[in-house]
Structure 1
Amino acid sequence: MKKKRILLKVGSNTLTKETDNISRGKIEDMANQIAKLQDTCEFIIVSSGAIAVAKQFVKLESQRKELFVKQALASIGQPHLIRIYQEIFREYGLLSSQCLLSYSDFEKEDSRTNIMNTINVLVNNNYIPIINENDTVATDEIKFGDNDKLGALTASLLDVDLFVIATNTNGIYTKASIENGKLETIKVVEDLEALKTQVVNSKSSHGSGGMESKIEAAVVAKNAHIETWIVNGLEDNFLINALKDKVAFTKIK
């Protein structure tokens, strides 16, 4: 039976559970769900969090602009981040690998082919690719929005069946419900242009995205005929519960 291919994008705010530290418990939660689903699903993960990990260990001083400090922090944090993933995933019998990509890689045909072939070999051999932007040479994630676009581009290139963005809300809320304080999730979206009028953009404490960047990522996925789900990754068992339709989340057709 052909497995359902899911690209799961996890932002810094989800990985830290809205604290100042990477949450090993959240990565355990992800590993536990993937282990339970591995007979029917195969996974590719796009993970932020390198800068957040580094901030746990170091405080860098620099006379240069903040962007260079963030790039340096990413360089320090990335090995720690992948080590945490590998340690925890191994406990659940899962194999993982690291892939660092830049947006420019998606603009060259040879690079696109190499990415696709390499990740397909990994997935076909039961490795879970954990992808992040190569922040030390590229600045788009820091500028653009917490890997949302990188996730969408990767999902499109690999022709996944489902693109899941784990964030810190129960999907996208209606504008009226945000204004009146009684949050109501938009459950199904057919018209992305109409959806944009509902979005109240705000950025999280660690992430650089916000709901606007997630909508833009969903547009990229929609153009590749891929459905996008925006789910609350702070909740335990968020993916399994979404697949069973047990929780409120936004499904962008």
Structure 2
Amino acid sequence: MKRIVIKVGSHVLTEEGEIALERMRALVDLIADLIRGGREVILVSSGAVAAGYTQLRLDRSDVAQKQALAAIGQPYLLKLYQSKFAHHGILSAQLLLSADDFDSRRRTRHARNAVEELLKHRVVPIVNENDVVATEELVFGDNDRLSAHVAHYFDADLLVILSDIDGYYDKDPHRYPDARLRKVVCALDAKELEAECTPHNAFATGGIVTKLQAADFLLKRGGRMFLASGFDLADVQSLLLEGVHRGGTLFESSDARRGEEDE
């Protein structure tokens, strides 16, 4: 795996209405280790609205006020990332994208060219949806699906989604103590993709369903996705740094899996 997209959600980045700085630092340390190991990393980060809310307590349910929070929070969030990457001597950059950027070949090409140039110079592109100007008709609505598009159109080998859950279970682990982790998933059916979104945080917009939709988008295009906990990065570190799949769920097609086994 040469190029990796890592997506981190609002629930991981916030705690009791504040930015979870220790979890952010652990994520940055992981990315720095990957870069030192010769990997290219694109970070898709939620948290702009949550970061804005730490500075000004506006009504998140009001669209205009939510957009204002995003406008306040985006530069604040980037500043936090930049300061933590600076400890590793790594630069980071901001890319704000929306759904229509991937509907236009010209816009997609320009964004890809910018990303390629940044990665060439070991700069970490930090991507977020442009919540300030995005309209209802041209919006992803969550960074899970955005990150899948970023991984596909920017030629990543793997998308890693860090969440408040440590993988994909055969039933809801919050309700059923006998739920079993599915370590490898090669295909998803319609029922799994159409269930109601159930975010577990006031600032979250997705839930397990949007993560499955992201995985399905990549599976249908020959891509791969890994879903794991963002609270404890041990499973992600094991897979990315050691090549050992201990925990978390890997979504990859059966053809890709057979190809790996044949090598």
- Do they fold alike, i.e. is TM over 0.5? yes
- 1:53 alignment counterpart: 51
Matched, 1:160 2:159: no
Matches within 5 A, 1:98-247: 98-139=94-135, 144-175=140-171, 179-193=175-189, 196=192, 201-205=197-201, 206-243=203-240, 244=242, 245=244, 247=246
User: Cα 1:114–1:55, aligned 2, differ >3 Å: closer, same or farther?
Assistant: same
- 1:23 alignment counterpart: 20
Structure 1 residues 154-206: Cα deviation after superposition (integer angstroms, max 9, x where no partner): 11101110011110111111117554323421110012117818978521212
- 1:249 alignment counterpart: 248
Structure 1 residues 87-128: Cα deviation after superposition (integer angstroms, max 9, x where no partner): 011112221101111111111111011011110000011100
Q: Secondary structure of 1:170's match? A: coil
Q: Secondary structure of 1:166's match? A: strand
- What count of residue pairs does the alignment treat as equivalent? 248
Which of 13, 38, 41 is the matching residue for 2:39?
41
User: Cα 1:76–1:184, aligned 2, differ >3 Å: closer, same or farther?
Assistant: same
User: Cα 1:70–1:142, aligned 2, differ >3 Å: closer, same or farther?
Assistant: farther
User: Cα 1:141–1:12, aligned 2, differ >3 Å: closer, same or farther?
Assistant: farther
State the TM-score, normalizing by the size of structure 2.
Answer: 0.86
User: Cα 1:147–1:109, aligned 2, differ >3 Å: closer, same or farther?
Assistant: same
In 1: Cα distance, 2:216 partner to 2:47 partner: 24
Letter in 2 for 1:173: Y
| 8 Å Cα contact 2:235-2:247 kept in structure 1 | no
Task: State which drifts further: 18-27 or 164-173.
Answer: 18-27
In 1: Cα distance, 2:102 partner to 2:112 partner: 10
In 2: Cα distance, 1:56 partner to 1:247 partner: 36
State the TM-score, normalizing by the size of structure 1.
Answer: 0.89
In 2: Cα distance, 1:249 partner to 1:56 partner: 31
Gaps of 5+ in 2: 253-263
Letter in 1 for 2:198: S
| 8 Å Cα contact 1:51-1:73 kept in structure 2 | yes
Matches within 5 A, 1:6-17: 6-16=4-14
Identity %: 35
Deviation at 1:223, TM superposition (A): 2.5
Deviation at 1:34, TM superposition (A): 1.6
Structure 1 residues 106-155: Cα deviation after superposition (integer angstroms, max 9, x where no partner): 11111011011110000011100000111111046997543111111111
Q: Secondary structure of 2:169's match? A: coil
In 1: Cα distance, 2:99 partner to 2:177 partner: 38
Task: State which drifts further: 147-156 or 233-242.
Answer: 233-242
Q: Secondary structure of 1:94's match? A: coil
In 2: Cα distance, 1:142 partner to 1:180 partner: 37
In 2: Cα distance, 1:87 partner to 1:149 partner: 28
In 1: Cα distance, 2:44 partner to 2:193 partner: 28
User: Cα 1:30–1:179, aligned 2, differ >3 Å: closer, same or farther?
Assistant: closer
Letter in 2 for 1:50: A
- 1:91 alignment counterpart: 87
